[in-house]
Amino acid sequence: MADEPAVKRAIAFFDGQNLYRHAKDAFGHHHPNYDPKKLFDAVCADKRWVNHGVRFYTGTPAHAQSPMWHGYWATRLLLMRRAGIIVESRPIRYRAHDVTLADGTVETRYVPQEKGIDLRLGLDVVRLARVCQLDVAVVFSQDQDLAEVVTEVKEIARDTNRWIKVVSAFPTGPAATAQRGVNGAEWYRMDQTFYDACLDLRDYRPKNSS
């Protein structure tokens, strides 16, 4: 088994929508009001890891479907990039879904679907582990599809005789709808006190939004 490094280089990988949905359930926050840098700095301070960068992944809605959220993410992602965060965004696709209402009429609703975000995040974790750019990958997500990424990183560590860890960081509390992190990863539970100390209180909504 490889020796544990005295100084551990950590990189954050934020699944923006996954973290938002779980924080909404656990803590009642109704928009993605966390500050990725503050949140990762707090984790690193607690674990005594060295922050080697933050990466953020999210789907963004089309203007035609949601003008407010389109404008929100356009502004927010621009400022993240200016702050040094590496951002990967993909347009959200919408799948038509017919719903029969109580009066028998059929209404078409559009269900948002992120395409490729979790795949892009997972590929980046594996790539950066393979080229020895990190010792700890901190994934802010509870998406169980990422369990395969954990397995791959463990195989890289074994094959290269290196110490590498994948950590799944997630909100926890009595109201949380999911109490598990990504399978196979080390879990880092964030309670509301920890999470709320890392909020971004700026309002990114377009000025003309209602």
pLDDT in tens, 52-97: 999 999 999 888 888 999 999 999 999 999 999 999 999 876 554 5
23: CB partners within 8 A, 6+ apart: 29, 32, 34, 171, 195
Handedness of CA 40, 46, 47, 51 (dihedral sign): positive
The model's pLDDT over 111-125, given as tens digits with 9 standing for 90+, comes to: 445 567 999 999 999
Compute φ and ψ for 11, nearest 5 degrees.
Answer: -125, 135
Query: Which among 143, 151, 105 has a CA at the least distance from the CA of 121?
Result: 143
- The parts of the chain modelled with pLDDT lower than 70 are 1, 93-104, 106-115, 208-210
